[in-house]
Amino acid sequence: MSDSIHLDVDTVDDEFEARGWSDGLPVVAPTRARVDAMLRCCDRAPDLELGTMPPRHGIVTPEILAINAVMAGCRPEYFPVVLAAVEAMLEPAFNLFAVQATTHPCAPCVIVNGPIARELGINARYGAFGPGARANATIGRAVRLILLNVGGAAAGVLDRSTQGQPAKYAFCIAENEAESPWPALHVERGFDSGHSTVTVTGAEGPHNLNDHVSDRADGILATLKGAMSDMGSNNAYLYGQPTIAFGPEHAAILAADGYSKDDIRRYVFDEVRLPRALWQRGGMAGMFPDLFPDEDMKPIIKCAEDLLVVVVGGFGRHSCWLPTFGDTTRAVTRLIARADGSALLSVRELL
């Protein structure tokens, strides 16, 4: 995608698909004018090397990211979120090589917090994990095109995911801070409420937690326990940092009964466990014997602090949880910087 390639807007989809630069959907032609408009929202020089992206270890620069953001249909004002998400994924703690190359169906999930989510219209309410919001769809898609075109993670080539998942197209949401009874994710991870951040996790798609009956915390937690005691998830044997995304109604019921996010984390650590007799019969227990404790019941997280808790969605008594690839990849939160330098870039890792 250099300047020497002639872009014919009528044939760009066929050309890019033939070159392996497409996710299978139509793309926006990354003309010089469109890429420059994207870069004007960036606080970095276009050719600044930000690192290399595994597994192919392609060089990452703002200009290369901008090209893919244009292709994804991003508006220029979305670009600082894309840039921050990519830089978070390049942190060693995230272990992008594992996320990109595994047979497991994980994908980087981008969770946006702070004022920028509202300014850009990043959906945090009804259907946040689904279609319909341009910011969610195109920021998430830009990340995927970058993982493909810079990281080289083409399905069946360097991306060895056995079945894949729809979240490999786009996986971007905002936390519903306005309807959450608890501190926001980025505040818990050391930032001010007025900061705008992205948090990336290596996650599976959302698994529904459906409870329309319970009007007390103990009922919702029992539903959660049943769903998360999942023999087939990587967290059953490799721990990691799964996410629970509570719908506002479930969150309100839990908070009314006095449950904080930390209380929920302790409940999951104490109660969401698999019997030794069960996981010795199948799953992956034999591959990682050193990861299994001596107790008869194995937790799905190493410690309570490893659970991420957010509020996402509109009303309706549904929540969801997002299993992860495992403890070899850690969630990373990064501050979003605007073109005028109004935010200083920093990294906060929950280790």
CA proximity to 243, closest of 196, 209, 193: 209
Query: For the whole model, what pTM was predicted?
Result: 0.93
What are the pLDDT digits (tens) for 217-244?
A: 999 999 999 999 988 899 988 899 999 9
- Residue pair 309/244 in contact by the 8 Å Cβ criterion: yes
**Helix or strand (DSSP H, E) at 140:** helix 134-149
Asked whether the beta carbons of 242 and 300 are under 8 A apart, the reply is yes
Query: Is 333:175 a contact under the CB 8 Å cutoff?
Result: no
Beta strands in the chain (DSSP E): 51-53, 58-60, 107-113, 172-174, 197-203, 207-210, 243-246, 273-275, 297-299, 308-311, 318-322, 332-335, 347-349
Mean pLDDT of 316-325: 97
Q: Would you say residue 109 has pLDDT above 50?
A: yes
Residue, of 311 and 13, whose pLDDT is higher:
311
Can you tell me the distance from the alpha carbon of 35 to that of 72, in angstroms, rounded to the nearest whole number? 12
pLDDT above 90 covers a percentage of the chain that reads 81
Compute the average pLDDT of residues 93-104: 96
**148: its two tokens:** 């493909």
Torsion of CA 179, 182, 186, 191, to 10 degrees: 120
In tens, the pLDDT along 121-151 reads 999 999 999 999 999 999 999 999 999 999 9
Q: How many CB atoms lie within 10 A of CB 34?
A: 18
Q: What is the mean pLDDT of residues 89-101?
A: 97
Strands 58-60 and 308-311, by their bridges, are unpaired
Q: Is the pLDDT of residue 343 over 60?
A: no
Higher pLDDT, 291 or 72: 72
- What was the pLDDT predicted at 345? 36
Closest alpha carbon to 41 in 120, 114, 124: 120
CA dist., res. 351 & res. 91, Å (int) = 12
Rounded to an integer, the average pLDDT of 276-295 is 70
Q: pLDDT tier at 106 (50, 70, 90 boundaries)?
A: very high
pLDDT at 282: 75
The reported pLDDT for the residue numbered 275 is 85
Of 103, 214, 224, the closest CA to residue 165 belongs to 103
Q: What angle do CA 96, 345, 138 make, to 5 degrees?
A: 55
Say whether 277 sits in a helix, a strand or coil.
helix
* Mean pLDDT rounded to a whole number for the chain: 92
Least confident of 26-30, 78-82, 281-285: 281-285
